Amino acid sequence: MGAAPAHSLFVSDLHLSPDLPGASRLFQRFLRDVAPQAEALYILGDLFEAWIGDDDLDFPLHAEIADALRGLTGQGVGLYLLHGNRDFLLGEGFCRATGARLLPDPSLVELHGTPTLLSHGDAFCTDDEAYQAFRRQMRDPAYQAMLLAKPLAERRLMAQALRRESDQAKSGKAMAIMDVNAAAVADCLRRYGYPRLIHGHTHRPGRHLHELDGKSCERWVLPDWYAGGGYLRCGAGGCEAVGLS
């Protein structure tokens, strides 16, 4: 059998945590058996259920995942990372430990011949105004520096409190509010010259076509890994979604 044609892989919303060890096992298997054949692996946010700072890399699950990612980059596979709303504090320490490179959100890449815009996806959820206000605060560098200056144990408690607040806030929100806003997606596609778009966050995997100004843009939404998981594989011939269980 010949080598696989050049391709890149995309995952997001793994939400790895010690509470759901199945997802970490599945991801380890994916890193061992699937990812090494790729040119690059892009992780489009929410790799971890909650990331409270790179000084938490000693935590056993974090160390295991970082080692496995380092194993992948050691084989020559490019590793690129976007922040999600759960792991926006991933920083240079994590990159040094794994060989990953952090990309801004959104990032336009030339993907095997097709311009492709990569995003976590939460920025498109503009109908969720409470979340967008929260996001602006969490992404403020001065606010992040203030958070990171707190002791690890205090940050852990804060993250738990924020998770509870978030679940409570979500229970009062309509499902439609928590999906992407079509106009926000269209604006972004226009701004970046009508690329293909790949994102996660909504946990509503699928392929959508946006017909805009006489152009057709493909939008892929990645699945979460809460019960099984999956990835997108893109090469010169296009993308295909692959499920894992």
**Beta strands 114-118; 107-111: pairing state:** antiparallel
Q: How far does Cα 87 stand from its chain's mean position?
A: 9
147 interacts with ligand LP5 by CB under 6 A: yes
Which among 136, 177, 126, 153 has a CA at the least distance from the CA of 59? Answer: 153
One of 24, 40, 43, 46 touching Mn ion (CB under 5 A):
46
Q: How far does Cα 128 stand from its chain's mean position?
A: 19
CB of 91 to Mn ion, least distance (A): 18
84 interacts with Mn ion by CB under 5 A: yes
- Name which of Mn ion, ligand LP5, none residue 178 binds, using a CB cut-off of 5 to 8 Å depending on partner kind: ligand LP5
Q: How far does Cα 153 stand from its chain's mean position?
A: 25
159 interacts with ligand LP5 by CB under 6 A: yes
Residue 32 or 173: the one with the smaller Cβ distance to ligand LP5 is 173
- Name which of Mn ion, ligand LP5, none residue 84 binds, using a CB cut-off of 5 to 8 Å depending on partner kind: Mn ion
Question: Which of these ranges, 18-26, 107-115, 154-162, 214-222, lies near ligand LP5 under the rule CB under 6 A?
Answer: 154-162
54 interacts with Mn ion by CB under 5 A: no
Which among 195, 193, 181, 191 has a CA at the least distance from the CA of 239? Answer: 195
Task: Return all residues near 243 (Cβ < 8 A) that are at least 6 apart.
Answer: 223, 228, 229, 230
Which among 8, 7, 21, 9 has a CA at the least distance from the CA of 225? Answer: 21
Q: How far does Cα 94 stand from its chain's mean position?
A: 15
136 interacts with ligand LP5 by CB under 6 A: no
Residue 53 or 235: the one with the smaller Cβ distance to ligand LP5 is 53
Distance, CA of 106 to CA of 119 (rounded, Å): 5
Q: Which two tokens stand for residue 78?
A: 């490019």
The footprint of ligand LP5 on this chain (CB under 6 A) covers a number of residues equal to 25
169 interacts with ligand LP5 by CB under 6 A: yes
184 interacts with ligand LP5 by CB under 6 A: no
CB 118 within 8 A of CB 107: yes
Task: List, in sequence order, the alpha helices (H) in the chain.
Answer: 21-33, 60-74, 92-98, 129-138, 141-148, 152-171, 182-191
CB of 17 to ligand LP5, least distance (A): 11
Residues 175-214, mask of contacts with Mn ion (x by CB under 5 A)? --------------------------x-------------
> Which residues sit at the interface with Mn ion, rule CB under 5 A?
46, 84-85, 201
> Which residues sit at the interface with ligand LP5, rule CB under 6 A?
50, 52, 85-86, 89, 122, 125, 128, 130-131, 134, 147, 155, 158-159, 161-163, 165-167, 169-170, 173, 178
